[in-house]
Structure 1
Amino acid sequence: MSNRQARHSLFPAAVLWDMDGTLIDSDGLWLAAERAVYRESIAERSGAAVPELSAVAERALEGASLPECARVLKAEGVTLPQEAIIERLVSTVEHELVAGGGIPWAAGAVALLMSLVEVGIPSVLVTGTPMRVARHVLEAVPPGSFAGAITGDSSLPAKPAPDRYRAAADMADANIKDCLVFEDSGTGIRAGLAAGATVVAVTDLARIPAPEDSRYRRIANFLGLDAAKLAQLRKCW
């Protein structure tokens, strides 16, 4: 019997995880890379002191797809081609993630993943980060933690479109309406809600913590959560 047919309890049929700023503490790596690309590009052209990346731009970069990040940086004055911007960002973040001495897991995330495995609830990673970076995370989790992953290499429309979360539910053989999404960014939260999932905003690692909103719940981190507690909390969702 499939997850679609079998889910009649308060347990989610599947848990769909955003990666950066949710599963791992990596938003700071992306922001540092974005700032570096901006500073280096502007300095090379002007030779003068370079102003900081604007707060408006940094807000627009939060949770954005890589092509959107490139567009924002170009609008701020970066003259590199889109492909070059994306490559600089990805290579910088991959290097820092690998050189950092271990994956910077969100508090309680790995324990929750293992609890879900124990009760047979599948997890799927849904991230705008390409597989060349996401694979380091997938290789570091306990075997069987993820039933699959949808990464930035996907041809599906990027968040905030709902397509990737709906595809992730299909990958887990679950109805999206019975799935729980963990997200940290406004972009990702909108994607999960548009897909029809139950959304939980995780605030501890977010660049810009999600505001209070009746459409979703907020938690600080995953500490103390397991599959049973997710089922208890879902009574309120």
Structure 2
Amino acid sequence: MPSQQPLPSELTTTPAADLPAAVFWDMDGTLVDTEPYWINAEHAIVEEAGGVWNDEYAHQLVGNDLMVSAEFIRDNSPITLEPVEIVEDLLRRVIAQVTEHVPWRPGAIELLTALREAGVPNALVTMSWRSLADSVLAALPEGTFAAVITGDEVEHGKPHPEPYLAAARALGVEVTDCVAIEDSPTGVRSAVAAGVPTLAVPHVVPVPIIAGAVQAPSLRGLTPADLHRLFG
């Protein structure tokens, strides 16, 4: 786990002209390495129901709206629970793992810190529900994210553009002046569809080349100015 530096509790500056107006962060797989937690939870609930799960199925769910994932699980296993019950069971299991250990992605905390110090607001844009987002946010200083958009608070989940459009409205910024950071094809398509210049940092699954997005192998060493330069 990278060393966690303290983040200022208040923004004290405004972004310079060569910085993004805001940065929108995906959570699972981008900010925190929780995709293995989700995959473990999926294996557990399916196997407890007498079925067999596999990583091919699990990888198809990376970045998805949780209700979409729940319906896929029900369609491909003996589980007969309603989708919302499946989501709640998965969340309970993942939250238990996050409470024990928050697995930050390399470079994430350092970039968050630098953005805050530069006066760039951050928004969390995740398809996880509020209960899990709050568990992750509890490990960060209050005010780290100026806005939080979760999957249970939007009508349309990723890859629909709604989550990112909602984040821009919450911060009062133009999407084209911001940068989104994503790790999955679903998330990248959502941000690009919203018109947000997008940095893809593939992790559990590969991300194809998508117009409107650039790719980097890691967030490690990236600075706020780098985010602006990536998009010319």
Structure 1 residue aligned with 2:114: 115
User: Shift of the alpha carbon at 1:63?
Assistant: 1.2
TM-score (norm 2): 0.87
Q: Sort the Cα spacing of 1:15 and 1:54 in 2 relative to 1 into closer, same or farther, 3 A.
A: closer
Q: Please identify runs of 4+ aligned residues in structure 1 that moved more than 6 A.
A: none
Give how far 1:96 is off. 0.9
- How many residues get paired? 218
1:99 partnered with 2:100:
yes
- Map of 1:139 onto structure 2: 138
Structure-2 residue corresponding to 1:216: 213
Deviation of the 1:21 alpha carbon? 0.2
**How far does residue 180 in structure 1 lie from its aligned partner after superposition?**
0.4
Greater fraction helix: 1
What residue is the counterpart of 2:44 in the other structure?
36
SS of the residue corresponding to residue 129 of structure 1 reads coil
Q: Deviations over 1:105-163 (max 9, x none)?
A: 11111111111111111100000111111112212223432101001220331111101
How far is 1:54 from its partner? 6.7
8 Å CA contact 2:107, 2:220 repeated in 1: yes
Residue matched to 2:85:
84
The one-letter amino acid paired with 1:229 is D
Residue 118 of structure 1 aligns to which amino acid in structure 2? E
Q: Secondary structure at the match of 1:217?
A: strand
* Counterpart position of 1:226: 223
Q: Give CA deviations for 1:6-54 in whole Å, capped at 9, x if unaligned.
A: 988332111000000000000000011111111111x1xxxxxx44437
Query: In structure 2, what residue type is equivalent to 1:59?
Result: H
Structure 2 residue ranges without an equivalent (≥5)? 1-13
Contact 2:15 / 2:118 at 8 angstroms: preserved in 1? no
Q: Which residue of 1 aligns with 2:17?
A: 9
Q: Corresponding residue for 1:18?
A: 26
Structure having the higher Rg: 1
Question: What is the rounded CA distance, in whole Å, between the counterparts of 1:138 and 1:59 in structure 2?
Answer: 25
Structure 1 gaps, min length 5: 1-5, 44-49
Q: What per-residue deviation string (whole Å, max 9, x for no partner) do you get for residues 161-211 of structure 1?
A: 1011011011121101111000011111110010000011112xx221213
Amino-acid identity (%): 36
